[in-house]
């Protein structure tokens, strides 16, 4: 295990202390975020961003009720609207501690002080924090997996789409900023940590290159912390992309995202004035696709995770796919294995497309890679790894926009090409499979109770979403929709 791995394990072990204080796993990571933020500002010599009374050493030296009361004041004051530092205000807005016992706060501050901070700095404080987020997501009890996309998947998408200096990279459902951090790392690896860039280019990369939105306040807090520790200042708003806030996000050269699945709470619809295809649906994943297309600059490219129903759902789903293939070149779909997400057993896909320079007939053919059939049972005992994407990346080729030479592997291979005409003959249904599907057999191989539960939950969620979709279509406006389509 690396030094960072050791530190993450030590930090995670502290959560057992806090469970006696009524602190849940997710709250524990949020609690740690407040404390680690203060400590990391000390370690990186950036404490001038904080009032002297609220720096790490002032907190850590105190004991008992004095320390706990001081900590509560600190959380309250650093999140006030008049705090000028935007990042500090974002991390501490509405912050409150779940700790009730002074001994637990002392245990946390003492343990954090005793960590091997020299090694953590050498390996990167951002890596330490990402390790902590991953640990939290892997723990089924935390429920954080819904905000955490597996890093091997993220890194695969980033390698294929090749983020470049000067590009605006957007994630409209940023979660803990996994895609944005990976894109930043990709660019830094090719520019000697930005040292090869001009001062102006470096400033753009740190302050303007990465943008997005995150709806959940606590997740946004973790997101901002993650960005800070990777040298990215801000960029992700606490906002609902499906509201007018989403219209204000900067247009993107590259959009990377794993948007939330399911329907908006209470059957709510998007409130975007620019939405025409999905304005009347509460289906979040369909609405996010409309946002993604509208958020792209001409020539902008996309890599995004979508559930299966996006590929086959009728009515709004079909109109959306037809519209997307007109405006964009939808060149690649990868059918992902089941069981790769920590908290949900849903079936997912990767979609890659590029916004056309015109609005007509941009998709000529769609290449589909099947990573799902005849694959291992992924889960706790067999996590997703980088090597699982090797053959797909080789088939995809070196052109980010799918223009590399590709060879159809036929009915026995995983990689096939379907013309736009062939897809049209399927009523623009993109849920295309040809290999014998052994997913059920794969699920039968699961042995971990957590993995079995995740698979069951996935099937139940899919069934509930199908019922909600059908209910929507049977509403009066849905009936009118059918009539209009029949008239066509």
Q: Residue 143: is its pLDDT beyond 70? A: no
pLDDT classification of 405: cutoffs 50, 70, 90: very high
pLDDT classification of 150: cutoffs 50, 70, 90: confident
Q: Report the relative pairing of strands 236-238 and 296-307 from DSSP bridges.
A: unpaired
> Do residues 259 and 288 touch, judged by C-beta distance below 8 A?
yes
For residue 108, give Cα distances in angstroms to 63, 67, 111, 278, 427.
Answer: 12, 12, 5, 47, 58
pLDDT of residue 384: 86
Query: pLDDT tens digit string along 379-399?
Result: 777 888 999 999 999 999 999
Which residue in 423, 410, 336, 327 sits closest to 157, CA to CA? 336
Name, of 114-118, 269-273, 342-346, the range with top average pLDDT: 269-273
pLDDT of residue 438: 55
Q: Residue 1: is its pLDDT beyond 60? A: no
Model confidence, pTM: 0.84
pLDDT of residue 473: 54
Write out the H or E segment, with its range, that includes residue 228.
helix 217-229
Burial of 66: CB neighbours in 10 Å, binned 0-12, 13-18, 19+: exposed
pLDDT of residue 488: 36
User: What are the residues whose beta carbons fall under 8 Å from the beta carbon of 440, sequence distance 6 or more?
Assistant: none
Q: Is 440 or 371 the better-scoring residue by pLDDT?
A: 371
pLDDT of residue 115: 84
Only one residue has tokens 């943008």, namely 211
Phi, psi of 139 (to 5 degrees): -85, 110
Q: Residue 139: is its pLDDT beyond 60? A: yes
For residue 467, give Cα distances in angstroms to 240, 282, 310, 463, 472.
Answer: 25, 13, 15, 6, 9
Identical fold for domains 3-135 and 146-473, yes or no, is no
Burial of 183-207, coded b for 16+ CB within 10 Å and e otherwise, reads: bbbbbbeebeebeebeeeebebbbe
∠ CA 364-369-372, rounded to 5°: 145
Share of the chain above pLDDT 90, in %: 56
Phi, psi of 233 (to 5 degrees): -90, 105
Q: Is 233 or 60 the better-scoring residue by pLDDT?
A: 60
- Domain positions in the chain are 3-135, 146-473
pLDDT of residue 124: 76
How many Å apart are CA 416 and CA 370, to the nearest integer?
A: 9
pLDDT classification of 218: cutoffs 50, 70, 90: confident
Query: pLDDT tens digit string along 5-49?
Result: 788 888 888 777 677 667 776 678 888 889 988 998 998 888 999
Q: What is the overall mean pLDDT for the chain?
A: 86
- CATH homologous superfamily for 146-473? Vaccinia Virus protein VP39 (3.40.50.150)
Query: pLDDT tens digit string along 120-134?
Result: 777 777 888 888 787
Q: Residue 475: is its pLDDT beyond 90? A: no
Q: Report the relative pairing of strands 348-355 and 328-335 from DSSP bridges.
A: antiparallel
Q: In CATH terms, is domain 3-135 a member of 1.10.8.50?
A: no
> How many other β-carbons are positioned within 10 Å of the β-carbon of residue 340?
22
Q: Residue 154: is its pLDDT beyond 70? A: yes
pLDDT of residue 486: 34
CA 399 to chain CA centroid, nearest Å: 24
pLDDT of residue 487: 34
How many Å apart are CA 418 and CA 411, to the nearest integer?
A: 12
> Do residues 416 and 409 touch, judged by C-beta distance below 8 A?
yes
Q: Residue 297: is its pLDDT beyond 60? A: yes
State the average pLDDT over residues 72-100.
92
Residue 343's region, left for phi above 0, alpha for psi from -120 to 50, else beta, is alpha
């Amino acid at each position: 295990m690396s030094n960072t791995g050791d530190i993450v394990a030590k930090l995670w072990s502290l959560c057992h202390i806090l469970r006696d204080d009524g602190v849940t796993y997710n709250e524990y990571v949020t609690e740690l975020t407040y404390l680690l933020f203060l400590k990391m500002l000390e370690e990186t010599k950036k404490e001038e961003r904080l009032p002297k009374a609220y720096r790490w050493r002032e907190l850590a030296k105190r004991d008992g009720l004095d320390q706990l009361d001081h900590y509560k004041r600190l959380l309250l004051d650093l999140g006030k609207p008049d705090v000028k530092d935007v990042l500090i205000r974002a991390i501490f807005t509405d912050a409150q501690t779940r700790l009730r016992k002074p001994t637990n706060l002392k245990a946390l501050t003492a343990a954090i002080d005793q960590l091997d901070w020299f090694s953590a700095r050498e390996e990167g404080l951002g890596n330490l924090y990402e390790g902590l987020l991953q640990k939290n997501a892997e723990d089924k009890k935390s429920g954080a997996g819904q905000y955490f996309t597996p890093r091997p998947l993220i890194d695969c998408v980033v390698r294929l789409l090749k983020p470049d200096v000067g590009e605006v990279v957007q994630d409209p459902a940023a979660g803990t900023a996994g895609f944005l951090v990976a894109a930043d790392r990709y660019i830094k690896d090719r520019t000697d940590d930005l040292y090869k860039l001009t001062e102006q280019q470096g400033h753009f990369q740190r302050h303007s290159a990465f943008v997005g939105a995150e709806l959940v306040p606590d997740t946004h807090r973790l997101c901002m912390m993650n960005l800070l520790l990777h040298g990215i200042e801000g960029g992700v708003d606490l906002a609902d992309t499906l509201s007018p806030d989403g219209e204000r996000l900067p247009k993107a050269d590259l959009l990377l995202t794993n948007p939330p699945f399911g329907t908006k709470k209470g059957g709510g619809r998007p409130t975007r004035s620019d939405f025409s295809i999905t304005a009347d649906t509460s289906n979040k994943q369909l609405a996010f696709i409309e946002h993604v297309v509208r958020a792209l600059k001409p020539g902008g490219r996309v890599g995004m995770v979508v559930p299966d129903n996006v590929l086959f759902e009728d009515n709004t789903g079909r109109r959306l796919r037809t519209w997307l293939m007109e405006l964009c070149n939808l060149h690649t779909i990868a059918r992902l294995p089941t069981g790769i997400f920590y908290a949900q057993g849903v079936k997912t896909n990767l979609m890659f497309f590029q916004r056309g320079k015109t609005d007509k007939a941009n998709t000529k053919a769609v290449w589909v890679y099947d990573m799902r059939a005849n694959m291992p049972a992924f889960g706790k005992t067999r996590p997703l790894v980088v090597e699982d994407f090797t053959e797909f990346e080789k088939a995809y080729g070196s052109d980010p926009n799918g223009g590399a030479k590709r060879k159809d592997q036929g009915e026995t291979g995983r990689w096939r090409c379907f013309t736009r005409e062939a897809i049209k003959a399927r009523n623009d249904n993109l849920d295309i499979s040809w290999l014998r599907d052994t997913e059920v057999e794969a699920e039968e191989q699961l042995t971990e109770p957590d993995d079995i539960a995740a698979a069951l939950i996935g099937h139940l969620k899919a069934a509930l979403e199908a019922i909600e979709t059908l209910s929507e279509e049977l509403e009066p406006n849905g009936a009118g929709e059918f009539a209009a389509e029949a008239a066509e």
